[in-house]
Structure formats: structure tokens, C-alpha cells
Amino acid sequence: MATFKVKYCHRIFDILGVRELANALLYQAFDKYEINCRKLAFDSDHVHMIIDMGLYSRPEIAKKIKGYVGRKLLGMIPWLKKTKFWGSGLWNPASDIRSVNDMDFYMCYLDKQKYADAGQTMLSAY
């Protein structure tokens, strides 16, 4: 399971358009880097995901996903970068990536997040 927190604890995922775009970009990143995502859920200022890391190391997978999504999201929504992140990046540099021993527990945990994933949305839908 991986958890990525937004810098400065801004509650940007409470904004529907930002959350939907981030969701679509995350799935694009998973596709680009051939990462299998089993489940994805957002809270106001962070995202949880259950992913199969494959051959990637923990720092490598965090860098790939966070870099791809952060760069694209802030590029597509420049007012967000200007008003919330003062020209810096989207993500807090820390990440929580851990092995999952009890998959059912974590699947239920993600279901209880504020914005649980209802299914994959393609970027072309926007």
C-alpha cells in the first residue's frame, strides 16, 4: 500500500475537478509504468493506493508516480500551483509505502476513505 500526502496539507481533493483529474492522471501513470493498481482512494489531502510494485523499489515507484501526476496536474491547473503551492511541487517529499499482509483489512480501509474509487476514469473524459 502506498500513501502520498499533498504538500502543506491543502485539502485540494475536496475539489471534485482536481480529484477527478488526479484520479485520471494516476491511472495514466500506472499504465505508463506498467503498475497494477488494485484500489485507489482519496481523502481531502492525500491519496491511498494498493499497487503491485513489480520490480520497482519503493523510492523509485514514489518518484515515478508522484513526479508524473504532480507535473501534469499543476501544469493543467496553473491556478492551483499559484494559489496553494506558491510555485513549488504538489506532493510532500515523504511517502508511506508498505507491504500488505492483510489485504482484506486494507481494502476495507480504502473503502472507508472520504472519496473511495468508483472505477477508472480516462483523461480523455475531460
126, part of any domain: no
60, part of any domain: yes
Distance in angstroms (rounded) separating the CA atoms of residues 82 and 44: 19
Q: Give the CATH number, domain containing residue 110.
A: 3.30.70.1290
Q: Which domain holds residue 82?
A: 2-119
| Radius of gyration, CA atoms only, the chain | 14
Pairing of strands 2-6, 46-52: antiparallel
**pTM of the predicted model as reported, rounded to 2 decimal places:** 0.88
- In 3D, which of 30, 26, 11, 31 has the Cα closest to residue 117? 26
Full pLDDT tens readout for the chain, 126 residues: 999 999 999 999 999 999 999 999 999 999 999 999 999 999 999 999 999 988 999 999 999 999 999 999 999 999 999 999 987 899 999 999 998 888 999 899 999 899 886 554 545 544
125, part of any domain: no
Collapsing DSSP states into helix, strand and coil, what is residue 95?
A: strand
Q: What is the pLDDT of residue 118?
A: 52
12, part of any domain: yes
Please give the order of strands across the beta sheet that includes 36-42.
91-97, 2-6, 46-52, 36-42, 115-116
Distance in angstroms (rounded) separating the CA atoms of residues 55 and 49: 17
Phi and psi at residue 76, to the nearest 5°: -85, -20
| Total number of domains constituting the chain | 1
41, part of any domain: yes
Dump the DSSP string for 13-78. Answer: GGSHHHHHHHHHHHHHHHHHTT-EEEEEEE-SSEEEEEEE-TT--HHHHHHHHHHHHHHHHHHH-H
